[in-house]
Structures are given as C-alpha cells and as structure tokens.
Amino acid sequence: MKILVCMKQVPQKDAPLKLNETGAWIREDVSYEVNEPDAYALEEALRQKEKHTGEVVVITSGPARSQQVLREALAKGADRAIHLEDNAFVGLDAFNTAKAFAAAIKDEKFDLIFTGLQSDDYGYAQTGVILAELLGSPHATIIMQIEKTDSGIRVKRELEAGFFQFVDMPLPAVLTIQSGINKLRYATLIGIKQAKNKPLRKVMLAEVQSAIGENLQKIERLYVPQKTKKTEHIEGSASEIAKKLVDKLRNELRVL
C-alpha cells in the first residue's frame, strides 16, 4: 500500500501565545510540535505498511521550521517527504491548503491518504475531507481502526457518545484519523541516522500557485476571548488552598 500522511506543525500545547502586530495571527517565535492527531495518522500508516508492505510518504506545508515534522516522521520510518515550503502556506484556508496538496501530488497515485481529524491551531476539521473531494476519492472521518479487505478497506468510525460504526470502502480513499487509534512509537537512533539520507522533495509556492486562489474565508481578527464567567482565584500555600477549597465545598457548594 502506498500511503500519504498529511501532517502539520502547530504551536506546542502549553506554549504561551501572543498576537502579532496584524492582530489576525500569532507571533511565530514560539515552540512548535507535530499536531497530535497527525502523529497518530503517521503511526497508523507505518503499521499498515509493516502489515501489507508499501511506502509511506509524509507531506506538510509551511516555512522552513515545519520541516522538523517531516524529519521526525522520516526518523520514525516514513520513506520520503514532500515539503511545500513557504510562509504563505500558513495563512491559507483549508480549501486552498487542500488544493496546494492536491497539486503537489498530482503525479502520484496513493492507495490511502491520512490526515489527523483536525488541527490544534485552526481546528477547522476540514482539510482531509476537502482533499478527498478534490481528488474524487471516497472518505471517512474520525477513524479508530483500519483493516484491508478483498475489495478495499473496512474502517471503524467513531461517532458521538460512545457509538461506533464499521464502514466498507474502496481504494483509493482518504481517512481522517482520531487520536488514540494506536500507540505511538519513538524514533530510534538508527532511524534518526537513516532519516538524513531519505529523500525530501521541496515544492515552492510558485509550483502550486496556479492551483490555489484567494481564501474563501478570512480571519478578520484574533483576540483573547472575553470571559463570560466570574472566576474566583484561590491562592496561598498548598495547605491554605486545600483548607479554603474544603471550606467552599462544605459551605458554598454543600457537597461535603
């Protein structure tokens, strides 16, 4: 099976974020990490390859810093990488990001394309489904299990409130992967060494420019949300806080 994994670099979960001077985006001098569901998508691709042989290709878009995500993926076992390298990709909406990816892989034939179910920065939860539509492939979202069948694949979709559903579908297909589908592996020292010699194709903005257009939606401004709830801070030493909390639990909330 030939599998493409779409990955994204996002600010680290506990990175303190600040607005930049445009007021419509963050200051980018923060620490980054791989978008968590994308890490699970990569792991699933590696496991499928181990079971059925084939190739795992990873793709991302963004400035030079985002290459780190690809390097880590290669170290974990991906075979090659594609980097749409330009700062301009950061500002694309999901529609144009998917268009750029589709243009970058137009000469390739993948059996499966994985994305994480959503990103921790935009959180649109759309790029994978849009990519499927652009490629004319069937898709399924929020996937917790993938098995190869005679006619294609059988996937387990997570629904809400603890419900699930198996879906049979033909290949090629696009799947958005839920966190927790598997257990993540660590890169080995030998893997990190080998990654240095694996192919990484850079795609410049100019190469895909004709495929993308103006964003269909626009972030007017970004801001710290206004609090709707009155929050009382409880401060002091650990034992003081514990005493104050118990007092609240007992006399205000009446749960003790």
Partner 1 sequence: MPDTILVVVEQREGKLNRVSWETITAGQAIAAATGWTLEAAVVGASASSIAAEVAGKKVAKVYAVESPKLEPYTPDAFAAGLKQLLAASHSKLVLMPHTYQVRDFVPKLATAMGRTVISDCIGFTYENGKLVFTRQMFQGKFAADVSFASDAPWFATFQNGAFRGDKAESGASAAPIETVKVEIADGVIRNKPQEVFKEAKQAVDLTQAEIIVSVGRGIKEQKNIEIAKQLAEALGGDLAASRPICDSGWLPMDRQIGSSGQTVAPKLYLALGISGAIQHIVGMKGSRTIIAINKDSEAPIFEIADYAIVANLFDIVPPLIEEVKKAKAGS
- Residues of this chain, 147-206, that bind partner 1 according to CB under 8 A: 157-170, 178-180, 183
Show contacts with partner 1 in window 99-128 (CB under 8 A).
120-126
Residue 154 C-beta: closest distance to partner 1, Å: 8
Q: By C-beta, is 171 or 192 nearer to partner 1?
A: 171
User: Among 42, 113, 142, 208, which residue interacts with partner 1 (rule: CB under 8 A)?
Assistant: 142
Does 234 participate in binding partner 1 (rule CB under 8 A)?
yes
Residues 246, 254 contacting (CB under 8 angstroms): no
Residue 58 C-beta: closest distance to partner 1, Å: 21
User: Among 32, 89, 95, 114, which residue interacts with partner 1 (rule: CB under 8 A)?
Assistant: 95
Residue 200 C-beta: closest distance to partner 1, Å: 28
CA–CA gap between residue 73 and residue 42 (Å, rounded): 7
Does 231 participate in binding partner 1 (rule CB under 8 A)?
yes
| Sign, Cα dihedral of 48, 51, 54, 56 | positive
Contacts with partner 1: how many residues (CB under 8 A)?
Answer: 81
* Tokens matching residue 11: 């600010």
CA–CA gap between residue 245 and residue 195 (Å, rounded): 52
Does 64 participate in binding partner 1 (rule CB under 8 A)?
no
Contacts of 152 (CB under 8 A, 6+ apart): 168, 169, 170, 171, 173
What secondary structure does DSSP assign to 56-68, as a single string? EEEEEEESGGGHH
Q: By C-beta, is 60 or 179 nearer to partner 1?
A: 179
CA–CA gap between residue 135 and residue 118 (Å, rounded): 19
CA–CA gap between residue 82 and residue 155 (Å, rounded): 26
Show contacts with partner 1 in window 26-55 (CB under 8 A).
26, 36
Residue 64 C-beta: closest distance to partner 1, Å: 22
